[in-house]
Structure 1
């Protein structure tokens, strides 16, 4: 059984990005997270991470449609 909440380092590993990138995503509100404990450790719910990934797929698909690949002319 997978844990419900992930540390930021776990999220970074899942997304293959740096810990600092995940921290920025959380602090900016791009990726929903909670702070828990006396030291205010960040945790991301696995379901929220999956929603984030699906949202990014949708945003990317929209961007691809709006920015079609144009063949370059030969040099």
Structure 2
């Protein structure tokens, strides 16, 4: 995965920056922030949301890990269902 370049942007990202990096809408980023799924801070006057680059990278890594775990869980459940089906067929 490409890391967000610290040379191209500063430590903090705007909501628009985060939106572009995640390839989702600005409204979706706002939803992630207001639900506290994506940590952010309000700075400036008027206060605007900012997401730290490192926090966004951590969020992306967490999503990869969540996806990996869900995939493993689905595989385990599929195997268990097949095992149950096979056991039932042998009992008949």
If the length of structure 1 is used for normalisation, what is the TM-score? 0.87
Name which structure has the greater RCO, CA cutoff 8 Å, separation 6+. 1
Matched residue pairs, number? 69
State which of 29, 32, 37 in structure 2 corresponds to 1:30.
37
Q: Which has the larger radius of gyration?
A: 2
Gaps of 5+ in 2: 1-6, 79-92
Going by fraction, where is helix more abundant, 1 or 2?
A: 2
| From 61, 64, 73, the counterpart of 1:66 | 73
Q: TM-score, normalised by structure 2?
A: 0.71
- Aligned-residue RMSD, C-alpha: 1.0
